[in-house]
Structure 1
């Protein structure tokens, strides 16, 4: 028997969870019929949901033996959810997908075929458009991928998603990277392996609302830049050199202007401009250094990436009153 583990991070997914379970069950049953030696486990990661997501997961695990769940003690973020799923998956193959049905389950058989029969270690989807997103959000997303691919040695494919079907070897390689500050899009590319990209049209959520605001995505993009590139540090050094050259040229210009033409130096405006220019440049460079220093500080604490409060194996009397 070959086992496929399907990891589903969940945060406030009570509206879409029943729809997802129905759709993924159809896909699993079809694959079992087409491949008699195939079995599945559904591993849901409840990332500190504040709605009825955990209650629904308890009910699903009680009626379906292939359903497992891990519930965090609080919200640790999707990156922690994906890592927890990979760390606790038992399958020969592992799938990561969202519960909102923006990752259509009907692609799993095709992914399985690429990894099982066509020599790929990973099959993933790549959006060919950003239908349903705002123009500003789409513009920033495209720019992020362009910047990342220019300043990082790790190529991140524009439109590639976390929806992935991976071999056990690739999963073990990802798990060997224990870093606290995780940026999975970069990690998936960094570990290498032969990856097949399946293009598809963007799909909107089946129900509920996304937890990813523009601000959260912006901060996530900064995590990606600092995790897989040191170019910003080099940029700080270059800006420092340029500012020194500009200052040196200005000094020479003022000396020549005063000695050759006898013109008085405009003191107040010149000083104010210089203060604002140098001060802003210093704060910018300090901000870059601070970003890298903060990541180093968090890594040095060696805190766990997530904390488990409950699983499907937890005795029922411990949560019956909740």
Structure 2
């Protein structure tokens, strides 16, 4: 593992939050004893992803009594993955842990993650959800479908049911942040590096307070970003669909020629309607798939940042 710069903390805990005023006090109550008990210099870097509730007020109140708490506020909501990326790019620790604030992932596991990383000289420690009984049936089914799809596409997503609760070494964080990729999905990017890794399992709890900030629309966007960012299989699917359409069209042409030769009176409207509809659907599907890849390329060419930082509380600390 590569060491951090001199004077940097041994551990950074990156916490993306968005409208989490209800759960933040509970999260702080559980996280602080864990990191205080490690006996190392640390920072807790909370990335406020443009919250519109009282989250900024709660964070400022907690900072008064917790000097290791650092708040980075984004100018606008950039999304969960972008908020984590913002935290990784500003984290200074030799080891960096990413965790959500909803307490579905237990902060107490951080101590075990740090110990495992040091004992076995690991660059990554994944926290995999061994028990998801607290999740809804819909959540369990969609999560299983996501990981199964990524596995079938050949994407290295690390341990099954490992989300964004993980520990990374400084070398891993530097490698991730050096990537020029936009809309990166970290649960795919980190395993793709192939760095030495270990796994710890845990029971996923229910959200301690507040409501989920990952509705179906965001889940679908994550799935699309994952598929288009990690595999060319959809493009190959478009190619095969085009090939299948060409075969069907050729078969219909042969059928029409034979019918014309033998003088069959073939009804035309229904078959024409079905063929045009089917071919049009395949074409639109292929164009949509191509559009996703072209859009990603276009975004990369523009080079626009995925987030904008409004304020970093580290600037207010004289020692920094």
**Alignment correspondent of 2:267:** 266
Is the 8 Å Cα contact of residues 157 and 187 (structure 2) preserved in structure 1?
no
**Alignment correspondent of 2:283:** 282
Shift of 1:253: 2.2
Distance in structure 1 (CA, Å) of the matches to 2:163 and 2:24: 20
**Alignment correspondent of 1:5:** 12
Q: Residues 1-322 of structure 1 correspond to what in structure 2 (within 5 A)?
A: 3-32=10-39, 38-260=40-262, 262-313=263-314
Is the 8 Å Cα contact of residues 82 and 183 (structure 2) preserved in structure 1?
no
Is the 8 Å Cα contact of residues 10 and 94 (structure 2) preserved in structure 1?
yes
Q: Describe the SS at the equivalent of 1:94.
A: strand
Shift of 1:133: 2.7
Shift of 1:237: 0.9
Shift of 1:313: 4.5
Is the 8 Å Cα contact of residues 38 and 111 (structure 2) preserved in structure 1?
yes
CA RMSD of aligned residues (A): 1.7
The ranges of structure 1 where at least 4 consecutive aligned residues each deviate by more than 3 angstroms after the TM superposition are 313-316
Shift of 1:103: 1.5
Taking structure 1 as the reference length, the TM-score comes to: 0.92
Q: Describe the SS at the equivalent of 1:6.
A: strand
Shift of 1:127: 0.9
Distance in structure 1 (CA, Å) of the matches to 2:171 and 2:316: 33
Is the 8 Å Cα contact of residues 100 and 205 (structure 1) preserved in structure 2?
yes
Shift of 1:130: 2.5
Shift of 1:162: 0.7
Distance in structure 1 (CA, Å) of the matches to 2:314 and 2:173: 24
**Structure 1: gaps (5+ residues):** 33-37, 317-322
**Structure 2: gaps (5+ residues):** 1-6
Is the 8 Å Cα contact of residues 114 and 167 (structure 2) preserved in structure 1?
yes
Taking structure 2 as the reference length, the TM-score comes to: 0.92
**Alignment correspondent of 1:35:** none
Distance in structure 1 (CA, Å) of the matches to 2:140 and 2:253: 45
Distance in structure 1 (CA, Å) of the matches to 2:10 and 2:316: 26
Alignment length (residue pairs): 310
Q: Describe the SS at the equivalent of 1:31.
A: coil
Distance in structure 1 (CA, Å) of the matches to 2:157 and 2:91: 27
Distance in structure 1 (CA, Å) of the matches to 2:313 and 2:53: 18
Distance in structure 1 (CA, Å) of the matches to 2:115 and 2:219: 33
Q: Deviations over 1:260-296 (max 9, x none)?
A: 4x32121111211111011111111111111111111
Distance in structure 1 (CA, Å) of the matches to 2:66 and 2:138: 43
Shift of 1:315: 6.2
Shift of 1:153: 4.1
Q: Describe the SS at the equivalent of 1:99.
A: coil
